[in-house]
Amino acid sequence: MLPVVSDTTVRTPREHPPLPSGPDELAAALTATGYLPDEGLATAAYLALVMHRPLFLEGEAGVGKTALAHALAELTGRPLYRLQCYEGLEASQALYDWDFGRQLLHLRAAEAAHAGTDTAALEASLYDRRFLLARPLLQALEDAPSVLLVDEVDRADDEFEAFLLEVLSDFTISVPELGTIRASTPPLVILTSNRTREVHDALKRRCLYHWLEHPGFDREVAILRSRLPQVTETLARDVARATARLRGLDLLKPPGIAEAMDWATALHTLGARELDPDRAARTLGAVLKYREDTERVHQLARGALFGGA
Amino acid sequence: MVLGFARTLRHAGVAASPDRVEAMLTATSHLDVLDATAVYWAGRLTLCACPDDLDRYDAAFAAYFAGEAPRRPATSSAPQQQLAESAPLQVDAGAGEERDDAPDLAARASADEVLRHRDVSQLSIAERDQLRRLFALLVPAAPMRRSRRRRPDARGGVDPARTVRRALRDGGEVTRLAHRRPRPRPRRVVLLVDVSGSMSPYSDALLRFAHVAVRARPASTEVFTVGTRLTRLTRELRLRDPDRALAAVGTAVPDWSGGTRLGEVLQAFLDRWGRRGTARGAVVVICSDGWERGGAELLAEQMTRLHRLAHAVVWVNPHKGRDGYQPLTGGMQAALPSVDHFVAGHSLAAFEELTGVIARA
């Protein structure tokens, strides 16, 4: 299984909008893309942009860690490269790999054309850039300036962190047969983690650290309204209020923004203009993902939780 | 100003290393220095490294700049793990009056053999001392799992990359197929050691066992104590010397010989660590006598949760080593349906057996 790579390999001249001149301007620009940051997150993203430091984002699942990278890519007009981490992720899947099959074909073709008298030249032509398969990290460096999203870095193993450290500290990758590849402009790097494992301190030290929390009521309503314009104001407010209450219930999996949006969409699809206990109970599967949680809420609620005001 | 603040922060327990402070200086220079909020965020983004740091940072910021930190207090969504500054030290660290009346080797060996099977709680101080040395002889083998990563092997599936690379060397002729097989990796082992009052005769031995396990596989072993609260001890137990490691444990654990709220603490473990990945696919070893002060229903519920997450659940009960033991306590009754292996843990021989159970789990 190869890492997911966004499909932006075609190199077309791109226009880069000027960088925002401060956190407030960045916050406004992010809002325009549909991502509503709070003050801390806007400052974090701004500093990551101007200081060329990776941004290390931690927080509960579904608070918008990955979405930030997408919004920043859209905002800066840079391509987004995503490296999804998993246990056993190897350098050949994150950095580069040689295309052995094509190398072999090239060799055979050269043989057939009887061009293989100069072995040194033939060998050199084998390790050419065109036989190098770029993986997300290398792509992000070559296609600078870009946005690099290293998703769920806590899932990869320790060894992978060590070599990520190497790439992120000076933004170079050395290919023994080819030489060092350097980014003309350091990419904007976003690392996300769900804290399944404590990431090594050496890696954190090179990053800006930000802990993302669930949004407050007003911001959640604003997010729902801007992402789902078809949902009525009343429904958005009801969903935000109910979701906030669910978060306070000490559930196995407290709902994030993503779940709140799913829920609002589900309710809207059923034709709801506001949250009523019956529809809420029927669509609970959009917001609660554990049977224990659903049962608990059913017992507790019986109307009280989803009552409008 | 920034340097003075960094010093305050270090006193508050946030490791603000010089390179982090330098990063804060750079960050501040990009922002409005006179704006307190900007300085707050510049510091928080560069100096903190985990959620536990954030509250300390807020307190230090408020104290140093005599202004309110612009952040609401931490929500209860993430239960904070707290380390007490001091706690009564149960472990008599190195009470070593070295006796030099060395008996001849054979007699000593047979004495060791007897000692191996004695109940740890019934030993005299000298015998305990002797037993501690024997702990060094335990060799915990890690349980293994298949990983996605493969390594070259004589048998197994064909390794296309290596085959073609070898062919390139031979002028493009595939002469021999290269093979590869999945590489086995150690499975994570999580030890949850009960340090409540009823377990105190055994907690020293259990923690020594935990120390041996952590030293053998530092990367894939996690140790927590459970009592009235959850304390992570993996870091303390990585110290090489067992006595120093146990002394560090003594200061880190705030709830020695207290009560047991096994269900609640297990829930805290699963919420904060387990579900996120620590217990997922791991061999979880719970060392407890199952005396539960809280409700047995909660424990049963949390045990089923744990059982669904973990690869195997091992329950070590020191009392199981006694003749005629029946698992009658409410906690034990509640937990047993979710336990894969129920073993004794009262003597060195039982611990040896336990290493075998863990390795085969």
What pLDDT is recorded for position A265?
Answer: 92
pLDDT digit string, tens, across residues A49-108: 999 999 999 888 888 888 999 999 999 999 999 999 887 787 788 888 888 888 888 888
- The pTM assigned to this predicted structure is 0.67
* Shared-domain flag, residues B281 and B307: yes
Q: Are residues B166 and B202 in the same domain?
A: no
Give the ipTM of the model, two decimals please: 0.73
Going by C-alpha positions, the residue among A5, A7, A155, A8 that lies closest to residue A83 is A5
Inform me whether the pLDDT recorded for A149 exceeds 90: yes
Q: Among A8-12, A153-157, A227-231, B189-193, which stretch is predicted with the lowest mean pLDDT?
A: A8-12
Handedness of CA B42, B47, B51, B56 (dihedral sign): negative
Query: Residue B206 falls within a domain, yes or no?
Result: yes
Tell me what the pLDDT averaged over chain B comes to.
78
> Which of 136-155 (B) contact A at CB < 8 A?
147-149
The number of beta carbons lying within 10 Å of the beta carbon of residue A107 is 20
- Which range is least confidently modeled, A136-150, B94-108, B142-156, B202-216? B94-108
Residues B303 and B205 reside in one and the same domain: yes
pLDDT score, position B67: 52
Q: Are residues B286 and B170 both part of a single domain? A: no
Which residue segment(s) compose the domain that B19 sits in? 2-65
- Chain centroid, CA A63 distance in Å: 12
> Which fold is adopted by the domain A23-95+135-212?
Rossmann fold (3.40.50)
Assess whether B205 and B328 both reside in one domain: yes
Q: For chain A, what is the mean pLDDT?
A: 83
Buried b (16+ CB within 10 A) or exposed e, B135-172: eeebebebbeeebebbeeeeeeeebeeebbebbbeeeb
Contact between chains at A155 and B26 (C-beta distance less than 8 A): no
Q: Identify whether the C-beta of residue B233 lies closer than 8 Å to the C-beta of residue B252.
A: yes
Residues of B in contact with A213 (CB under 8 A): 75
How many folded domains does chain B comprise?
A: 3
Per the CB < 8 Å rule, is B77 touching A254? yes
pLDDT confidence of residue B77: 40
Residues B237 and B342 in one domain: yes
Distances from the Cα of B81 to the Cα of A260, B52, B206, angstroms: 29, 8, 22
Provide the pLDDT for residue B102: 44
Domain ranges of chain A: 23-95+135-212, 97-126, 217-301
Is the CB of A194 inside 8 Å of chain B's CB atoms? yes
CATH code: domain of residue B347: 3.40.50.410
B201 belongs to a structural domain? yes
Domain co-membership, B171 together with B213: no
B31 and A43: CB-CB below 8 Å? yes
Reading phi first (left if > 0) and then psi (alpha if -120 to 50, else beta), residue A185 is in: beta
Answer yes or no: do B154 and B228 share one domain: no
For residues B277 and B217, membership in a common domain is answered with yes
- Across the A:B interface, residue pairs with CB atoms under 8 Å apart total 108
Note whether residue B328 is domain-resident. yes
